[in-house]
């Protein structure tokens, strides 16, 4: 199996269970609160490791208990955390996540050390990009750092996958040309293209014209839409499941996609597998705590 490098964020997630997401000015009583290892980058690395891929996590943390919790969680599924950068002048990232009775969530992130990850950090660790085959990025680290990593991945002939979350107000158009696979959800795709959330087919066409080889749009309970340079357009349905918590579903989808591609599956096979993994994640509480092992995922490549 090919090796996966995840470049991105690590956050300690404070997950608050509420009957409904509060509106502006509203005070409500929470049911429970849990501290769970998270961050979009760490979630992807954890999922890739849990699903059996050789995985390296590269990012920045502070000198605090949250950093140790993050590292131990990733190490528990075999992720290499030896190259994480430790900042002495800022804390590990934190996220406050409210989850309602329907399983929907609202998230506020304090980036902390994540916002310090720089182009120079990537350049100083160029050997990591050389040694890995598939590189995953998200947007909880500076966009300039992501752009540099994508450009370098292109130069080295690596497969670069971007999960454009959280969708930025300003997106460097140059970045599109370096992306092999982009995986937005409907809302993120709308923010990137200016098109209505229901118009995901033409919106994905727009990203293809900007240079992206493959666009995969996650559609929640409807599954995923694939617009591929090599495999055309397909709607991959999702299995109907009871939704408990959607946290980390998108991260797990992206990681599962990379894992199957690393093992030699076609893009469509990988999307089908990723859809199944995400369906399991939403039936469980938390971020990394909701991610299944490879043995838990019923899947047939046929």
Kindly list the catalytic residues: 251
Among candidates 3, 5, 1, which has minimal Cα distance to 150?
5
Alpha helices in the chain (DSSP H): 40-50, 65-75, 119-124, 126-131, 143-156, 173-176, 186-193, 200-209, 249-262, 267-281
Alpha helices in 87-142 (DSSP H): 119-124, 126-131
d(CA 240, CA 232): 25
Check residue 92 and report its DSSP letter.
P
Q: Report the interhelical angle of 200-209 vs 186-193 (nearest 10°).
A: 50
* Under 8 Å between Cβ of 5 and 132: yes
Contacts of 236 (CB under 8 A, 6+ apart): 223, 224, 225, 226, 268, 271, 272, 275
Can you name the residues that pair with 236 across neighbouring β-strands? 224
The distance of Cα 262 from the centroid of its chain, to the nearest Å, equals: 16
d(CA 188, CA 216): 12
Among candidates 38, 40, 45, 47, which has minimal Cα distance to 13?
38
């Amino acid at each position: 199996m090919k090796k996966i490098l995840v470049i991105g964020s690590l956050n300690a997630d404070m997950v608050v269970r509420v009957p409904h997401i509060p509106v502006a000015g509203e005070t409500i009583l929470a049911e429970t609160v849990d501290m769970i290892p998270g961050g979009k980058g760490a979630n992807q690395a954890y999922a890739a490791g849990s699903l059996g891929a050789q995985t390296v996590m590269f990012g920045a943390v502070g000198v605090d208990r949250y950093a140790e919790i993050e590292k131990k969680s990733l190490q528990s599924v075999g992720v290499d955390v030896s190259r994480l950068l430790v900042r002495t002048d800022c804390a590990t990232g934190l996220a406050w996540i409210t989850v309602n009775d329907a399983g929907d969530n609202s998230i506020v992130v304090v980036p902390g050390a994540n916002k310090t990850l720089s182009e120079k950090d990537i350049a100083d660790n160029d050997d990591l990009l050389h040694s890995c085959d598939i590189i995953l990025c998200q947007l909880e680290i500076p966009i300039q750092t992501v752009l540099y990593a994508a450009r370098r991945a292109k130069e080295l002939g690596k497969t670069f996958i971007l999960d454009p979350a959280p969708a930025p107000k300003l997106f460097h158009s140059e970045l599109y040309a370096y992306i092999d696979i982009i995986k937005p959800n409907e809302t993120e795709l709308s923010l990137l293209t200016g098109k209505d959330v229901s118009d995901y087919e033409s919106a994905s066409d727009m990203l293809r014209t900007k240079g992206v080889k493959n666009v995969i749009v996650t559609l929640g309970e409807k599954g995923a839409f694939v617009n591929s340079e090599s495999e055309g357009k397909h709607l991959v349905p999702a299995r109907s499941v009871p939704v408990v918590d959607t946290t980390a579903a998108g991260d797990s989808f992206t990681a599962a996609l990379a894992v199957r591609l690393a093992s030699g599956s076609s893009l469509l096979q990988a999307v089908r597998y990723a859809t199944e993994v995400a369906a399991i994640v939403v039936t469980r509480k938390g971020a990394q705590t909701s991610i299944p092992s490879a043995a838990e995922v019923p899947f047939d490549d046929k």
